[in-house]
């Protein structure tokens, strides 16, 4: 199982859509370049917001063509891992801060057939992942404090991504670096340059009047950065 089908992905975050019609909202971001939907699961304890459960994941799986990137922001993530994989998570991301035995849970996710991601809050050091980096399919760097769409990007996230990208290269690690929170046309190119390859986008897509145009704008910003890097290498 490989994450790197495309070299990079934009993952629309359905949390930023209208909660009363999520399947319809998912269809509104259906352009060929989009492979995954990002689904934020919040329990009102781990973060100050309450959102979607396994039935919503099941419904999105059944009624859309997207793979699902499920981001758990809940207290009892360990207990809920099998439930969300059964519901249809293709990538399951848990928070480093939210589980006691991270190594065990990463391997449980993989054994149950999903790709394993771990997320870090803005205040959490990369060092906390040092000994599990080779086990991971994905590291999700939170660029806002988790809980809501539409918050401002926290600048220190950029350096965190750069450092992780250096570690990844040094160790030859396979993991993909995903960024979530405050990502938009103004910073997506810089985050690509820093080393991120999966870009979660909530408000930058769903709060826009033309969502498909908004996605194309984000893709264009990444492609401009790739072209710039290419021209630097000549
Ligand atoms: C925040 C969530 C995000 C959120 C991103 O806790 O994890 O996925 O929807 O929204 P934007 O892109 O608007 O910051
Ligand atoms: Zn998220």
Give the whole-angstrom CA distance, residue 91 versus residue 73.
14
Of 167, 200, 171, nearest to 93 by C-alpha is 200
Residue 75: active-site member: no
| Ligand 1 atom nearest to 142, measured from its CA | 7
pLDDT at 123 (0 to 100): 98
Per-residue pLDDT for 3 more than 90? no
What is the structure's pLDDT at 2?
47
The string of pLDDT tens digits covering residues 24-73 is: 999 999 999 999 999 999 999 999 999 999 999 999 999 999 999 999 99
Would you state the structure tokens that stand for residue 46, as one six-digit string? 């781990």
Q: How confident is the model over 78-87, as pLDDT tens digits?
A: 999 999 999 9
Tell me the CA–centroid distance for residue 205 and ligand 1, in Å.
11
CATH class of 9-232: alpha beta
233: pLDDT strictly greater than 80? no
Among 73, 95, 200, 205, which is best to mutate for testing ligand 1, by the most ligand atoms less than 8 A from CB? Answer: 200
Pocket test for ligand 1, best of 10, 11, 12, 15 (most atoms within 8 A of CB): 15
Give residue 179's pLDDT band: very low, low, confident or very high (50, 70, 90): very high
Which of 139, 136, 223 shows the shortest CA–CA distance to 177?
A: 139
- Ligand 1 centroid vs 188 CA: distance in angstroms? 14
Q: Rounded to two decimals, what is the model's pTM?
A: 0.97
Domain boundaries, the chain: 9-232
Supply the pLDDT for residue 232: 82
Which ligand number lies closest to the CA of residue 69? 2
71 CA from centroid of ligand 2 (Å)? 5
Are 66 and 89 contacting, i.e. CB atoms less than 8 angstroms apart? no
Q: How confident is the model at residue 4 (pLDDT cuts 50, 70, 90)?
A: very low
Map residue 222 onto helix, strand or coil. helix
Tell me if residue 159 is catalytic.
no
For 196-232, write each residue's pLDDT tens digit: 999 999 999 999 999 999 999 999 999 999 999 988 8
Q: Which atom of ligand 1 is nearest to the CA of 145?
A: 6
Q: Which of 152, 149, 126 is nearest to 139 (CA)?
A: 126
> What pLDDT was estimated at residue 6?
60
Q: Which amino acid residue places its CA nearest to atom 7 of ligand 1?
A: 146
Residues in contact with ligand 1 (CB, 6 Å cut-off): 13, 15-16, 38, 40, 71, 144, 146-151, 180-183, 200-204
115 contacts 136 by C-beta, under 8 angstroms? no
Closest CA to 144 of 178, 180, 119: 180
The two structure tokens encoding residue 64: 């859309």
Summarised one tens digit per residue, pLDDT across range 112-168 is 999 999 999 999 999 999 999 999 999 999 999 999 999 999 999 999 999 999 999
- What string of DSSP letters covers the chain? --S-SSS-EEEEBGGGS-TT-HHHHHHTT--TT--EEEEEEEBSSSSS-B---HHHHHHHHHHSS-EEEEEEE-TTHHHHHHHHHHHT-SEEEEEGGG-S-HHHHHHHHHHTTSEEEEEE-TTS-GGGGTTTGGG-SEEEEESS-TT-SSPPPPTHHHHHHHHHHHHHHHHT--PEEEEESS--TTTHHHHHHHT--EEEESHHHHTSSSHHHHHHHHHHHHHHHHHHHHHHH-
The Cα–Cα gap between 82 and 80 comes to 6
What is the whole-number distance in angstroms between the Cα of residue 171 and the centre of ligand 1?
A: 30
């Amino acid at each position: 199982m490989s994450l790197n089908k495309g070299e990079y992905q934009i993952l629309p975050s359905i949390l930023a859509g209208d909660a009363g019609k999520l399947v319809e909202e998912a269809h509104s971001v259906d352009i060929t370049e989009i492979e995954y939907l990002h689904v934020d699961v919040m329990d009102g304890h781990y973060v100050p917001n309450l959102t979607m459960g396994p039935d919503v994941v099941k419904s999105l799986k059944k009624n859309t063509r997207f793979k699902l990137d499920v981001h758990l922001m809940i207290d009892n993530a360990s207990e809920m891992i099998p439930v969300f994989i059964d519901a249809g998570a293709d990538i399951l991301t848990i928070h480093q801060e939210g589980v006691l035995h991270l190594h065990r849970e990463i391997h449980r996710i993989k054994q149950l057939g999903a790709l394993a991601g771990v997320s870090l809050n803005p205040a959490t050091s990369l060092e906390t992942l040092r000994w599990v980096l080779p086990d991971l399919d994905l590291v999700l760097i939170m660029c806002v404090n988790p809980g809501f769409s539409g918050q401002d990007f926290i600048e220190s996230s950029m350096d965190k991504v750069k450092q992780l990208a250096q570690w990844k290269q040094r160790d030859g690690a396979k993991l993909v670096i995903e960024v979530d929170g405050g990502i938009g046309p103004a910073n997506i190119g810089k985050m690509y340059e820093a080393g991120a390859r999966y870009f979660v986008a909530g408000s930058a897509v769903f709060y826009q009047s033309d969502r498909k145009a908004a996605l194309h704008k984000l893709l264009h910003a990444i492609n401009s950065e790739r072209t710039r890097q290419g021209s630097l290498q000549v």
